[in-house]
Chains A and B, each alone.
Chain A
């Protein structure tokens, strides 16, 4: 196996570990934001396992606070978080809250109120430019929150100010899921690629469960081009066969049977 093949294999395993951790975290209370972690496992694996994002140097904005479970799950695997902390996820007075807040570790900004993250990321990018520092800015955004108009105010601003954005990268988990069901059934946001392109962004569309494609897309970031948005097309349950398609993608009820089936499937993938 070449070094690159090994790296891809490692990222795939990391994504499976993210799903396993997240499943165990949601099992603590028997309900929670599991769909988000399952759909975004490869995105978090590539962001925090590929070495492209430099923790403590680059800035990371997690726009949808409900996804913080995926961040915790990956952070415990790459040495950024004590794995024992995962056991308290969502409990009263726990450090790891179910929806990110101002005390959430590991992020420069997390927003529980949706549609606000990209604006904050642009603030970081401007600050980096003003200070003349070597920092990249990464913003994780979800698809449903693009219904909020603020997303597009931010997108317009970033393109207009592209010379002051440095390396600004937006990764979107396009899982077609929001509280009321598929995004397509609530308010359509497609065609996303054309929208972002027309707002002045460089757009890459990838299979969001393909770590190789995600890594390549991320590696193409550049300070000399338009800001980059990666549309990571994913499935809400991350292609887990154990979960029925009828399960709630936003806030799942995970009974013991479902939990066991999911853990068995993930452990088999890791064996």
Chain B
């Protein structure tokens, strides 16, 4: 694993989709007036006949995707996360999820990574998509996982929702890192630990930064990366949680219905009584602002993980401070 600030890359999704589509003629790319923003401008330019812009009409787009998929295409549908989930939920349910079609819905700007306020911040997209039968939910953490996820979700039969950070994507993992749609991954620690941090997507850098601080303060930490929130790898999660004193879930999403809820269900069904703290966006709509500002204000920072861990363990020493990792143009640092 690399160290922060992380190197960044541009358009890993768009490039991977284009490469895959060159090999697989059945792939179609649909968009709704956000072509450059969803990295699909390179697909449009290279394979214009298989790129379709439906305009600002997401409900129509889902119906079109369903028709294409019924005719044998693998359809990648691209827009912001809010617009492909909450805006057209019934169309996703009836045109895509219920018939279990090969439609891969890719929603950009998850959680509070959008400066555009509640209308543009997908804080419940995972909850909505997770509730639909047949729908898988994927959230890669870095550019390597994004690239691998494109082929993986194309190969997985049926509908998938994938939420992706927009714009600069960090490279967190080493080149040998392998994404497995069936497995959560232990990124740090093993065996007995004081704290088990279970995170996904944009919360992985903060989880790793918090783990380093905790280890330096003689607190044992396990970090799990959960790139597939549904179907959840309950086996790995329960195994890690079983030997931890507390479990903390960290997600750039409402604490209702997302990763934290999925983990709670898995732990409860396994009969584990381990204390669980869900770190994420409280049951609120947020506001406009930069990622740094919003992550701090709504409790998604490294310090928030440290605070929750400290309180959860009941330690009477002062809470250590999160390191300040300077970000710069061309680099990505956790808040």
A residues at B contact (CB < 8 Å): 65, 90, 92-94, 97-103, 111-115, 144-145, 147-149, 178-180, 186-187
Contacts and interface: CB of A to CB of B under 8 A. Distances in A.
Nearest to B56: A147
A13 B83 CA distance: 39
B102 interface: no
B289 interface: yes
Nearest to A111: B119
A103 to B, nearest CB: 7
Given A113-B82, A179-B35, 10 more contacts: A92-B293, A99-B116, A111-B119, A112-B118, A112-B120, A113-B119, A148-B57, A178-B55, A186-B33, A187-B56
Given A112-B118, A113-B83, A179-B37, A101 B287 contact: yes
Q: Which 4 A-B pairs have the closest CB atoms?
A: A112-B119, A187-B55, A97-B288, A92-B293
Interface string B282-298: 00010111100100010
Nearest to B86: A113
Contacts, number: 78
Nearest to B44: A180
A179 B117 contact: no
Given A93-B293, A147-B33, A101 B53 contact: no
A147 to B, nearest CB: 4
Contact of B33 (A65, A90, A97, A178): A178
B59 interface: yes
B119 A65 contact: yes
B14 interface: no
A110 to B, nearest CB: 9
Contact of B54 (A90, A93, A97, A187): A187
Given A102-B118, A147-B33, A178 B56 contact: yes
A98 B56 contact: no
Given A101-B287, A112-B117, A180-B33, A148 B293 contact: no
A94 to B, nearest CB: 8
A98 B116 contact: yes
14 contacts: A92-B289, A98-B116, A99-B116, A99-B288, A111-B119, A112-B120, A113-B87, A144-B56, A147-B33, A147-B55, A148-B56, A186-B33, A186-B55, A187-B54
Contacts of A147: 33, 55-57
A97 B288 CA distance: 6
A173 to B, nearest CB: 15
B274 to A, nearest CB: 37
Nearest to A113: B119
Contacts of B35: 179-180
A128 B125 CA distance: 36
Interface string B75-90: 0000000110001000
B34 A179 contact: yes
B193 to A, nearest CB: 36
A92 B290 contact: yes
B115 interface: yes
Nearest to B35: A180
B288 A149 contact: no
A148 B91 CA distance: 14
A128 to B, nearest CB: 26
A147 B61 CA distance: 11
Contacts of A100: 117
Contacts of B83: 113
B34 A180 contact: yes
A186 B56 CA distance: 9
B3 interface: no
Interface in B90-130: 115-120
Contact of A179 (B33, B288, B293): B33
B329 to A, nearest CB: 14
B236 interface: no
Contacts of B82: 113
A112 B87 CA distance: 12
A92 B297 CA distance: 10
Given A144-B56, A147-B56, A187-B55, A101 B33 contact: no
B59 A149 contact: yes
Interface in B42-84: 53-57, 59-60, 82-83
A112 B56 contact: no
A148 B31 CA distance: 14
Nearest to B59: A149
Contacts of B87: 113
Contacts of A90: 288
Contact of B57 (A65, A94, A99, A149): A149
A103 B288 CA distance: 11
A202 to B, nearest CB: 26
Given A178-B56, A180-B33, A103 B287 contact: yes
